[in-house]
Amino acid sequence: MEIFGFDLTEILSAVLPVIGKMILLVVAYLIIVPIGKKVIEKTLQNAAKGQKSSPGRMKTLEKLLTNVFSYVMMFVLIVMLFSALGVDIGPLLAGAGVVGLAIAFGAQGLVSDIVTGFFVILERQIEIDDYVTTAGYDGVVEEIGLRTTKIRSFDGTLNFVPNRYIEGVANHSRGNMRALVDIGISHYDNLDEALAILKKICGEFENDERFKEGPDAIGVQAIDTSQIVLRVVGQTENGLQWECERDIRKRIKEAFNEKNVDMPLTQHVVLQKATE
Amino acid sequence: MEIFGFDLTEILSAVLPVIGKMILLVVAYLIIVPIGKKVIEKTLQNAAKGQKSSPGRMKTLEKLLTNVFSYVMMFVLIVMLFSALGVDIGPLLAGAGVVGLAIAFGAQGLVSDIVTGFFVILERQIEIDDYVTTAGYDGVVEEIGLRTTKIRSFDGTLNFVPNRYIEGVANHSRGNMRALVDIGISHYDNLDEALAILKKICGEFENDERFKEGPDAIGVQAIDTSQIVLRVVGQTENGLQWECERDIRKRIKEAFNEKNVDMPLTQHVVLQKATE
Amino acid sequence: MEIFGFDLTEILSAVLPVIGKMILLVVAYLIIVPIGKKVIEKTLQNAAKGQKSSPGRMKTLEKLLTNVFSYVMMFVLIVMLFSALGVDIGPLLAGAGVVGLAIAFGAQGLVSDIVTGFFVILERQIEIDDYVTTAGYDGVVEEIGLRTTKIRSFDGTLNFVPNRYIEGVANHSRGNMRALVDIGISHYDNLDEALAILKKICGEFENDERFKEGPDAIGVQAIDTSQIVLRVVGQTENGLQWECERDIRKRIKEAFNEKNVDMPLTQHVVLQKATE
Amino acid sequence: MEIFGFDLTEILSAVLPVIGKMILLVVAYLIIVPIGKKVIEKTLQNAAKGQKSSPGRMKTLEKLLTNVFSYVMMFVLIVMLFSALGVDIGPLLAGAGVVGLAIAFGAQGLVSDIVTGFFVILERQIEIDDYVTTAGYDGVVEEIGLRTTKIRSFDGTLNFVPNRYIEGVANHSRGNMRALVDIGISHYDNLDEALAILKKICGEFENDERFKEGPDAIGVQAIDTSQIVLRVVGQTENGLQWECERDIRKRIKEAFNEKNVDMPLTQHVVLQKATE
Amino acid sequence: MEIFGFDLTEILSAVLPVIGKMILLVVAYLIIVPIGKKVIEKTLQNAAKGQKSSPGRMKTLEKLLTNVFSYVMMFVLIVMLFSALGVDIGPLLAGAGVVGLAIAFGAQGLVSDIVTGFFVILERQIEIDDYVTTAGYDGVVEEIGLRTTKIRSFDGTLNFVPNRYIEGVANHSRGNMRALVDIGISHYDNLDEALAILKKICGEFENDERFKEGPDAIGVQAIDTSQIVLRVVGQTENGLQWECERDIRKRIKEAFNEKNVDMPLTQHVVLQKATE
Amino acid sequence: MEIFGFDLTEILSAVLPVIGKMILLVVAYLIIVPIGKKVIEKTLQNAAKGQKSSPGRMKTLEKLLTNVFSYVMMFVLIVMLFSALGVDIGPLLAGAGVVGLAIAFGAQGLVSDIVTGFFVILERQIEIDDYVTTAGYDGVVEEIGLRTTKIRSFDGTLNFVPNRYIEGVANHSRGNMRALVDIGISHYDNLDEALAILKKICGEFENDERFKEGPDAIGVQAIDTSQIVLRVVGQTENGLQWECERDIRKRIKEAFNEKNVDMPLTQHVVLQKATE
Amino acid sequence: MEIFGFDLTEILSAVLPVIGKMILLVVAYLIIVPIGKKVIEKTLQNAAKGQKSSPGRMKTLEKLLTNVFSYVMMFVLIVMLFSALGVDIGPLLAGAGVVGLAIAFGAQGLVSDIVTGFFVILERQIEIDDYVTTAGYDGVVEEIGLRTTKIRSFDGTLNFVPNRYIEGVANHSRGNMRALVDIGISHYDNLDEALAILKKICGEFENDERFKEGPDAIGVQAIDTSQIVLRVVGQTENGLQWECERDIRKRIKEAFNEKNVDMPLTQHVVLQKATE
């Protein structure tokens, strides 16, 4: 058939596969997008299973990921439709590439922040009110965000730490802590007597509830030119280690004063010479 | 039909789809650009919602982003029109790539500056007049720009910090600050008496409005060869911690002088020997 | 044959190879995927052969790898089917590239963690309850995960170390450890007598079961302005080195006190001058 | 028509579009290049608006950028003309790529230098005769170039700093500077009297024009084993801080000498022991 | 010829070149693979020629490389056969690229380990039982693996060092070692006499078999406020340097005691002043 | 026309455009290469205009650049001729890419060296016989090469510094240098008298030709527990600063001895206590 | 002509250009390869002209480079022949790319080693038996290889330094070395007399052949609280600087003892106070 001098069959045979392809693409799109969203959702729920605390944060993350996924798929659909219509899409891709690269440049750190933050939360490396040392900051955690973690130092400073700088976490709020007191005595003191005093003091603290593993006087830690260093070690409840150390220190000092155990004052031998 | 020996139908059937494609492209352009601009605008407004302070800066950012977006889309449109006309656009793309790469080389740091600056402002990590430590500089914030933050050190120096070097922020102007005074006494002083004096002084300061958490004498912090170190700790209003520390220090010194508590002078035992 | 004006032969000759290709692709898919899975499984089992401890972890790894492999192959199959249907798949590949790049950005550290963790486990560099120093952390290993290793410091802190930061491992729980005691005597003490005392003490410890290689007094380690340093060295059972050192130190101190060997007090020559 | 056995129509229909494309390209070139140059010019003028000082440098930059732009566009034009003639330009592009890569290798640092230098000038971070600390160098700025900044140290050394190493600038010539004098007194001095003397001296300096904020004696800064440290702080005109500090120091010393306030000589307690 | 309406000649002329290509590919594969394996084998054997010790390790390396080569070639063959059949292999290549990239991400460190390990073994930089310092670890080599080297520290710690961190090796087990003793005398001792004593002691050690180059008293190494430092230097058999140093030190001390050469005690001039 | 059964017209119409393209390419080559060389030459001459010293080095650089340019253009020509003949040049390009990459790997540092060296010479940052500090080396420049700079340290060592490590240059041979002498006096000396002596000495040196800015006694630089530090500062001719400092120091010492100004000996207060 | 139903002319016209291309390729290969080898040879010979020592090493390098070149060209030839036969060589190139990438991963460090080594040898920065400091190692060069340099430390350790870590070389074996002796005298010694003694000693050494520039007493280098430091400086033959310093030191000490010039003993002023 010819209409206005055009061969309809030819036109049809040119147009039909194009329309076929376009329908195919839309159908594929309608199938793939919801499946992709479900996969993201499920994966996150699995990951979050062991974790009790932050459902709100998971929601945020899920929404973020499904949004990004939808935008990318819609862009792909549009471009493929154009392509099916026979429009050369090279420049469009190039333009998208430039914009995408610009975003990537900017977002690189952001993505690292989110991924690290995700694992810090997931593995419960840090929880709010933990006392931690990480990324050169030291203090109590006030907030763990997807991008930034806030740590309150003991001097009152509030530190903002982008998550990507959290390379390792030293968490001081997990389990009992050690109380350690090193005390020096002079070379002229009676070593056995001093050790006996320390053992007696350790005994006094054994029933202290704060101690999980009674403090022990474990012996001569070091000998240097001016002192013999004795060590007392124990396990205390988390957070009470400094208080316990201060108490032990005070008790030892009092006992040593009582029993005339000398502090290790620096000692010199002086050889007098007449001036030339 | 033939005109001057050319087959008009043939020409038309060659020219028509080209014109069709070009119209299609212009229409797509006219639809996509305003939508894209709206999306940028909305995204920024959402991001800025929680933030009270800098609407001016947001405007700048918005204008910057929509300009970049417009230029990129216009470039894409032009190239696609050329392409529809059957001109090989490979070299143009290559040329644009070289220019773009050159810009990217130069702008890389700039983009990092802007992105980091954006989050510093958005999360309110820094506000003007905060006393902060970041990127090795320490002082009061005078200006937070998209590219550079100005920090005035206490010695009067004005520091220009490109935002990308702000890896973590220690903000000393958020909440109460700790006042901490360590004071040494000699081994021959009466430990209990000294602690009692400290406690009395702490009591005097308890009603001081500057203190949010009354200063406490928390005990024996350390024992070394020449002194017993006692510690006083309190929480003060932000910015008054140094003043409070100075006042406590002066008060303790006066009380110790009064009660004859000795300063921890270095003590030596000297053993005289005759010269050989 | 012509049906509705279309040449059936032509259609058939156009459609048949397409269908042929699609069948070929599905068949290839059905053959390659199970083989690939088997290869992954075998490789892991071979790798894990020498290793006794963590079958559970190997399972996790295997599941992870086969899942990733399946997803990639399925994606390839779908894209190739589309391609066989004559749909231009460039944009789809580009879209997948963007998503993949985003994942890669995020997962880069994760992959490093898993690979390093894999070798740490495989080569048994670290086992649970080993005392190790790695990545700036020092303590007893509590858990070795695919992504993170937990190390408990002696002060009670729990450290989370992403595996990729484990650049070298110093494992203190493999074999006997050295006990080393350096002891100073004064310049006026009798060197030979002091060495004799040390040798006698070493003899006393020779039958101590804790020592694998009896402690030896190996001689004059250093001479400086205030002391002559003598060294005692031995090999002890793993973990008992500090206890042994403390015992040797105590014993030497007692013996020196008994035999009047002097501690190396700092000695000065003083030349008195009258004030001008 | 046939000429020498060639079909003229055929030739024409082959040659005409080629010529058409070439004309199109030249026209596009003639339109785009001046517009591009204008855009560069305008952008730079906008950027430079707030800035008073260096029009000469802006000229240099403008010329540099328009030259680069012209060369790139001319290269693109030539290659596209070739391409329109049906010459395969792949190798040419590859060759250009190699040369361009070589230039990029070399120019990378140069581009960084220029971009950083541009912002340093634009934001007026540094101006000639400012006293700055940057990139590990410290001194007075002698020249700010597009590639290198010259800083004259106080010892006379002339430092050449490539701009890209200017990561942050501490500018000591912007606003008043702090004069700070810490002075120690001995534990046996009268604290209140010493503070009174300092306050009196501060009063003397209050009318000194060099001081913008009168020097204040703010109290007890530190207490250590040998001294009590008192602090005097003031704001002076820029550049006069050292002179002022020296004057305050001299005045305090004189006043203390007059009033018999002791310098904090190190104090020891010595316990004599008979030689064994 | 026509069969079922298909033109056999046409089919044949379409199918024949395909089959021809496929046969060509298989033949090329069968020729290239064994040659490639031989090349790998030969190269390794050449490289290993100068090396005596680790044939087992070479075998492992050879097997690894030929396996990798076989897998890659087989993959190439399969893909080329597909391609000859007219299947678009773009997606397959893309998929393989993704998997390959993932492996590369993981294996990058591994490859570095193997290459460095290969050269460490080949150049015999390290051999088992050598005492080396490398990558911050110090001790005796227990095992040199393709991926990891095990170094036993003197304190008993076993260090696992991934080969890629071996940036330079200080091997202390290659040739004679220097024994060096610095000994201080006081300013009041007779310099010539002291040097004479040292020379005499050096003479005593000259016939000691442990010394490869007799110890020499080379003179006055330094003069400082409290001592004149004299130096004795010699070359000893590898591993005996510390023992020799200890023996020389003991001998010098004894000789100095005998001849009344003073140790360099710190000397002070003290100017007594009456208290103000 | 048909010759041997081939249609000559057909052949001609196939061969002619090929030959046309090849002629075009050769002509373009003959035009572009000399222009390119001229551009390189001119650019270098412009760059070198301000610079007096090293025409020889410029020649070397020019020759290097034009050689590289010629080789690249010849390679491009050959490949384009091949391409015009219808040979698939993909593999050749790939091969060239591999070789080029290998060269790039090796030459990367070399290119950096040359570019940095070019600017160091161009901006005259360093000239032969200058005394400079750069890249951690310190000494007098002996040679500035395109790749390496030789610096002779004052101890005689000859340092080879690859130019790329020259990140900033501290040139100590540009302009007058500061002579600075800090001299301490004791707390019991008369401050005004000491300052008067210093001023008198400064007056003596004022007519010394070596001084460009007469030495001045600028006052009390610091007060610490054992001394009052006074400062004398002046500007001297380049290279004479140390000599001048030594002369001033000697003169001050002599004047102080004459006038009985005390050196700041460390002063202690000693409190004698009886032994317990 | 038709044979077995195939049109011979058609076949011929299809086969002939293929064969033509293949012949062309082989001819081009046979021309290019020897030329390329000659170019490599010549370049190396030119580079090596100024250099006397290591022809063997140059041979090795030449062989290495020509081998690599041959392999690459042969690979290119094979692939282009395949391509001329109409086989799709995409996968082969991809496979080669993977293998090449793997080699590149491994060889990257190796190439850097060879290039750096090449320049170290070419510029004669290091020669065997030179005493050098480089890459953190210090000692006498024993061997300079293409990949590794061996440096023997003075303590006997043999250091293996991969050439790429040689970032700068401090060569202590090029030209005369400085002998420098700093000697302190006390504040009570006669400065002029001491300088006179030093000058006399310098005179004694002037005729010493080891000195290239007679030692000079250049004056008062520093004044501190306990000493006046005088400096003697001279130029000696390379390698004899330490010996000369020791001789000068011994001579000065003897002369000072003779003339009763005091060593700068630390001096204190002590103020006795009665105990409270």
How far apart are the CA of B224 and the nearest CA of chain A, in angstroms? 8
Among partner residues C24, C73, C241, which is closest to E87 by beta-carbon distance?
A: C24
HEC secondary structure over D166-224: CCCEEECCCCCEEEEEEEEECCCCCHHHHHHHHHHHHHHHCCCCCEEEEEEEEEEEEEC
Architecture of domain B131-171: Roll (2.30)
How far apart are the CA of C226 and the nearest CA of chain A, in angstroms? 9
What is the bridge-based pairing of β-strands A148-152 and A137-144?
antiparallel
pLDDT (average), residues A189-214: 90
Among partner residues A91, A247, A257, which is closest to B79 by beta-carbon distance?
A: A91
How far apart are the CA of B105 and the nearest CA of chain D, in angstroms? 7
Structure tokens at C66: 């086969």
Helix axes C191-206, E241-258, angle to 10 degrees: 140
Closest CA to G134 of G97, G157, G163: G163
The ipTM is 0.78
Among partner residues D167, D187, D268, which is closest to B263 by beta-carbon distance?
A: D187
D225, D230, D237, D271: best to mutate for the B interface, most B CBs within 10 A:
D225
Question: Which chains neighbour C (Cβ–Cβ under 8 Å, 3 or more pairs)?
Answer: A, E
Across the interface, whether the CB atoms of E159 and C178 are under 8 A apart is answered no
Q: Which residue has the higher pLDDT, E135 or F28?
A: E135
CA atoms within 13 A on the CB side of F183: 30
Structure tokens at B11: 């020409």
pLDDT for position D276: 46
Considering chain A, what percentage of its residues have pLDDT values greater than 70? 81
CA atoms within 13 A on the CB side of F98: 24
pLDDT (average), residues B150-156: 94
The pLDDT tens digits of the residues spanning D91-133 come to 666 666 656 665 665 667 777 888 888 888 878 899 889 999 9
- Give the C-alpha distances (Å, rounded to integers) separating B41 from A253, B35, B46, B117, G218: 69, 10, 9, 18, 74
How buried is residue G34: exposed, middle or buried, by Cβ count under 10 Å (0-12/13-18/19+)?
exposed
DSSP codes joined into one string, C128-173: TT-EEEETTEEEEEEEE-SSEEEEE-TTSPEEEEEGGG---EEETT
Task: Tell the residue number behind the tokens 């995927």, with chain if given.
Answer: C33
pLDDT (average), residues E65-91: 75
Cα C220–C225–C231 angle (5° rounding)? 20
The pLDDT tens digits of the residues spanning E152-189 come to 999 999 999 999 899 899 999 998 999 999 998 888 78
Amino acid at B140: V
Among partner residues F114, F167, F220, which is closest to D165 by beta-carbon distance?
A: F167
Fold that domain C177-258 belongs to in CATH:
Alpha-Beta Plaits (3.30.70)
The pLDDT tens digits of the residues spanning D235-256 come to 999 989 999 999 999 999 999 9
pLDDT for position E257: 87
Across the interface, whether the CB atoms of C171 and E160 are under 8 A apart is answered yes
Look at residue F276 and tell me whether its pLDDT is greater than 50: no
Q: Is B56 helix (H, G, I), strand (E, B) or coil?
A: helix
Q: Which residues of B touch A165 (CB under 8 A)?
A: 167-168
Closest CA to C173 of C206, C129, C209, C205: C129
The pLDDT tens digits of the residues spanning C167-219 come to 899 999 998 999 999 998 888 788 889 999 999 999 999 888 899 987 999 98
Give the Cα separation of C183 and C197 in Å (integer). Answer: 12
Across the interface, whether the CB atoms of B228 and A253 are under 8 A apart is answered yes
A114, A174, A227: best to mutate for the C interface, most C CBs within 10 A:
A174
Closest CA to G247 of G227, G264, G232: G232
Across the interface, whether the CB atoms of E177 and G156 are under 8 A apart is answered yes
Q: Which residues of A touch C156 (CB under 8 A)?
A: 172, 175-178, 235, 238, 241
Question: Which chains neighbour D (Cβ–Cβ under 8 Å, 3 or more pairs)?
Answer: B, F
pLDDT for position B101: 59
Across the interface, whether the CB atoms of G266 and E268 are under 8 A apart is answered yes
Across the interface, whether the CB atoms of A92 and B111 are under 8 A apart is answered no
Give the Cα separation of B155 and D175 in Å (integer). Answer: 10
Across the interface, whether the CB atoms of F123 and D98 are under 8 A apart is answered no
pLDDT for position E69: 78
Among partner residues D125, D174, D268, which is closest to B265 by beta-carbon distance?
A: D268
pLDDT (average), residues E38-63: 69
pLDDT (average), residues B22-27: 84
Look at residue E192 and tell me whether its pLDDT is greater than 80: yes
Structure tokens at A46: 């699995």
| Structure confidence at residue E93 as a pLDDT band (50, 70, 90) | low
Closest CA to C158 of B103, E101, D207, A173: A173
How far apart are the CA of E106 and the nearest CA of chain G, in angstroms? 13
Sign of CA dihedral F38, F41, F47, F53: negative
How far apart are the CA of F81 and the nearest CA of chain D, in angstroms? 10
Task: Tell the residue number behind the tokens 């004098």, with chain if given.
Answer: D181
Average pLDDT, chain C: 81
| Structure confidence at residue C82 as a pLDDT band (50, 70, 90) | confident
How far apart are the CA of G257 and the nearest CA of chain F, in angstroms? 23
Cα B98–B102–B103 angle (5° rounding)? 120
Q: Mention every residue, 6+ apart, whose C-beta is less than 8 A from residue D166.
A: D116, D120, D134, D135, D149
pLDDT for position F203: 92
Across the interface, whether the CB atoms of F102 and G111 are under 8 A apart is answered yes
DSSP codes joined into one string, F191-236: HHHHHHHHHHHHHHHTT-TTEEEEEEEEEEEEE-SS-EEEEEEEEE
Average pLDDT, chain G: 82
Structure tokens at C169: 């491992």
Look at residue C94 and tell me whether its pLDDT is greater than 90: no
Sketch the domain layout of chain B as residue ranges. Answer: 2-87, 131-171, 177-258
Considering chain E, what percentage of its residues have pLDDT values greater than 70? 81
pLDDT for position G2: 57
Classify each residue of F232-257 as buried b or exposed e, where b means 16 or more C-beta atoms within 10 Å of its C-beta.
bbbbbeeebbeebbbbbbbbbbebbe
B180: closest chain A residue by CA: A155
A120: closest chain C residue by CA: C160
Q: Which residues of D touch B243 (CB under 8 A)?
A: 218-219
- Cβ–Cβ pairs < 8 A, chains A and C: 169
Sign of CA dihedral A195, A196, A201, A206: positive
Q: Is E153 helix (H, G, I), strand (E, B) or coil?
A: coil
Q: Which residues of D touch B132 (CB under 8 A)?
A: none
Amino acid at A46: N
Structure tokens at E171: 């091997």
| Structure confidence at residue A10 as a pLDDT band (50, 70, 90) | low
Look at residue F196 and tell me whether its pLDDT is greater than 90: yes
Global pTM?
0.82
Give the Cα separation of G190 and G256 in Å (integer). Answer: 11
A71, A79, A98, A101: best to mutate for the B interface, most B CBs within 10 A:
A98
pLDDT for position E176: 92
Give the Cα separation of A215 and A205 in Å (integer). Answer: 7
pLDDT for position F28: 82
Among partner residues B87, B156, B268, which is closest to D175 by beta-carbon distance?
A: B156
Among the residue ranges A89-98, E136-145, F241-250, G56-65, the one predicted with the least confidence is: A89-98
Q: Which residues of G touch F147 (CB under 8 A)?
A: 119, 123
Q: Mention every residue, 6+ apart, whose C-beta is less than 8 A from residue D223.
A: B183, B249, B253, B263, D229
| Structure confidence at residue C276 as a pLDDT band (50, 70, 90) | very low
Across the interface, whether the CB atoms of E137 and C170 are under 8 A apart is answered yes
Give the Cα separation of A224 and C263 in Å (integer). Answer: 9
Look at residue E235 and tell me whether its pLDDT is greater than 90: yes
How far apart are the CA of F53 and the nearest CA of chain G, in angstroms? 23
In sequence order, the β-bridge partners of residue C185 are C228
pLDDT for position E276: 46
Look at residue B43 and tell me whether its pLDDT is greater than 80: no
pLDDT for position B276: 46
Among the residue ranges A190-199, D64-73, D159-168, D256-265, the one predicted with the least confidence is: D64-73
Look at residue D234 and tell me whether its pLDDT is greater than 90: yes
Sign of CA dihedral B190, B192, B196, B199: positive
DSSP codes joined into one string, C52-119: -S-HHHHHHHHHHHHHHHHHHHHHHHHHHHHHHTT---HHHHHHHHHHHHHHHHHHHHHHHHHHHHHH
Among the residue ranges B229-243, D39-53, F176-190, G88-102, the one predicted with the least confidence is: G88-102
Amino acid at C201: I
In sequence order, the β-bridge partners of residue E148 are E162
Classify each residue of B97-116 as buried b or exposed e, where b means 16 or more C-beta atoms within 10 Å of its C-beta.
bbbbebebbebebbbbbbbb
Look at residue G41 and tell me whether its pLDDT is greater than 60: yes
Give the Cα separation of F36 and E195 in Å (integer). Answer: 75
CB A241 within 8 A of CB A178: yes
| Structure confidence at residue A276 as a pLDDT band (50, 70, 90) | very low
The pLDDT tens digits of the residues spanning B231-249 come to 999 999 998 999 999 999 9
Q: Which element (helix H / strand E) includes B29?
A: helix B8-48
Give the DSSP letter of residue G266.
E
Among the residue ranges C41-45, C146-150, E180-184, G30-34, the one predicted with the least confidence is: C41-45
Q: Which residues of G touch F226 (CB under 8 A)?
A: 225
CB C152 within 8 A of CB C142: yes
Among partner residues B159, B243, B272, which is closest to D170 by beta-carbon distance?
A: B159
Across the interface, whether the CB atoms of B170 and A87 are under 8 A apart is answered no
Q: Which residues of B touch D187 (CB under 8 A)?
A: 263
pLDDT for position G252: 92
Across the interface, whether the CB atoms of B225 and A165 are under 8 A apart is answered no
CB D201 within 8 A of CB D252: yes
Give the Cα separation of A7 and C213 in Å (integer). Answer: 102
Distance of CA A174 to the CA centre of its chain: 14
How far apart are the CA of F21 and the nearest CA of chain D, in angstroms? 7
Structure tokens at D136: 């590990």
pLDDT for position C20: 80
pLDDT (average), residues F179-203: 90
The pLDDT tens digits of the residues spanning A24-74 come to 888 888 888 888 888 888 877 776 665 555 566 667 677 777 877 787 778
- Cβ–Cβ pairs < 8 A, chains B and D: 169
Across the interface, whether the CB atoms of E223 and G254 are under 8 A apart is answered no
Structure tokens at E23: 């046969």
Give the Cα separation of C185 and C178 in Å (integer). Answer: 23
| Structure confidence at residue D141 as a pLDDT band (50, 70, 90) | very high
Neighbours of D62 (CB within 10 A): 17
pLDDT for position A233: 93
- Cβ–Cβ pairs < 8 A, chains D and F: 169
Q: Is F124 helix (H, G, I), strand (E, B) or coil?
A: coil
- Give the C-alpha distances (Å, rounded to integers) separating E92 from A84, A117, C83, G87: 22, 35, 11, 18
pLDDT (average), residues G149-171: 93
Across the interface, whether the CB atoms of F24 and D269 are under 8 A apart is answered no
pLDDT (average), residues C113-130: 85
